[in-house]
Amino acid sequence: MSLHGAVPAPGGDVAQGSGAGGNDPDIGARIRAFRKTRRLTLKAVASHAGVTESFLSQVERGTSGASVSTLRLIAEALGLSLSDLFSENGAPLHRVLRPEDRPKIRAAGVVKQMLTQRPLLELEVLEGEFQPGASTGGVEYTHGDSQELLYVLDGTVELMLGGERYTLTGGCTMEYRSSVAHGVTNVGAGTARLLWIISPPSL
């Protein structure tokens, strides 16, 4: 991707006649499509990227380009990698993700696995294993404003949701908005296995 000949705009962005991100006029359309799928406003994405709403709108329409650093921040706000924005063909319709290839997040007593593949489109699914006493961090958190379903596969967990405390055992589900502060702790004697289903993706 070349940005030679572009005129820098305030904040390190790049303003040019056409083609967001330099030579690819389709990047703006992909940014808009991902943003709409995730139900994110121009303001939310622009704020994360450190640009104005009007500039982001121009990028989406293909009338202005953006620097690589700004595109990276836009991708981050959308839950994507920079390479996802440049993927012309999009994700194939049918994709296999083998257990050994699943991205994993490890913390004290916790292992989370991503069951859906990037680029995440309309659905995000994670599986987690919590050792006794382990939690999502001890502090309730939020992420976006998605519909989120927590499914307890095995064990007993305590869900803190908007200041309320719920005890969930194997087979229980709980549905809520991801914009409501929440957190999970394994309060059982054995390993707890959980499933999170989030739409649109917001983690």
Structural domain spans, the chain: 7-85, 99-199
Give the residue-averaged pLDDT of 67-71.
Answer: 86
> What element of type H or E holds 157?
strand 156-161
Instruction: Give the bridge partners for 127, in sequence order.
Output: 113, 195
pLDDT above 80 (res 81): no
pLDDT at residue 66, as a whole number: 84
pLDDT at residue 24, as a whole number: 59
Close Cβ partners of 73 (under 8 Å, ≥ 6 residues apart): 48, 49, 50
pLDDT above 70 (res 183): yes
Give the residue-averaged pLDDT of 73-78.
Answer: 87
Phi/psi of residue 4, each to 5°?
-65, 135
105 vs 125, which has greater pLDDT?
Answer: 125
Which pLDDT tens digit goes with each residue over 123-169?
A: 899 999 999 999 998 789 998 888 999 999 999 999 999 999 999 99
Percent over 70 (pLDDT), the chain: 83
pLDDT above 60 (res 92): no
pLDDT above 70 (res 37): yes
190 vs 104, which has greater pLDDT?
Answer: 190
Query: The domain 99-199: what is its CATH number?
Result: 2.60.120.10
pLDDT above 60 (res 119): yes
pLDDT at residue 63, as a whole number: 87
Q: Could you check whether the bond before residue 200 is cis, i.e. omega within 30 degrees of 0? A: yes
pLDDT above 60 (res 203): yes
pLDDT at residue 19, as a whole number: 38
User: Edge-to-edge, what's the strand order for the sheet holding 164-169?
Assistant: 164-169, 156-161, 182-186
140 vs 9, which has greater pLDDT?
Answer: 140
pLDDT at residue 1, as a whole number: 32
Instruction: Report the CATH architecture of 7-85.
Output: Orthogonal Bundle (1.10)
pLDDT above 80 (res 9): no
Give the residue-averaged pLDDT of 58-80.
Answer: 86
> What element of type H or E holds 158?
strand 156-161
Token output for 73: 């921040």
